């Protein structure tokens, strides 16, 4: 009897899991889902670009400080608060 209950619960859980996955897949393939994915891609790309620019600027500052300490006093140090968007 316990074995049947376990198999029933496992089947119900698999059914719920499958239903949720199918609904998510259907939404991703719908018009609004594709628009949401494109918007998320844009946000991710902008965040990646900002991180890349910050990293390049930090690396450039480090290289200038190492090669020419006199010029390092003229550098404008960039902080995360400098970026507005």
- Whether 72 shows a pLDDT value over 90: the answer reads no
Kind plus residue range of the DSSP H or E element containing 19:
helix 2-29
pLDDT in tens, 13-22: 999 999 999 9
Residue 82 predicted with pLDDT over 60: no
Angle at CA 50, nearest 5°, toward 44 and 54? Answer: 145
Convert the pLDDT of each residue in 29-69 to its tens digit.
999 999 999 999 999 999 999 999 999 999 998 898 888 87
Rg (CA), the chain: 26
Give 62-65 contacts, CB < 8 A, sequence gap 24+.
none
Position 47 scores a pLDDT of 97
Predicted pLDDT of residue 50: 97
pLDDT band at 2 (very low <50, low <70, confident <90, very high): confident
């Amino acid at each position: 009897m316990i074995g049947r209950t376990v198999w029933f619960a496992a089947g119900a859980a698999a059914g719920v899991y499958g239903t949720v996955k199918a609904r998510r897949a259907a939404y991703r393939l719908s018009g609004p889902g594709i628009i949401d994915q494109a918007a998320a891609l844009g946000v991710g790309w902008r965040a990646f670009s900002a991180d890349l620019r910050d990293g390049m600027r930090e690396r450039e500052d480090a290289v200038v400080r190492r090669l020419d300490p006199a010029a390092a006093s003229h550098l404008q140090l960039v902080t995360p608060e400098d970026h507005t968007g």
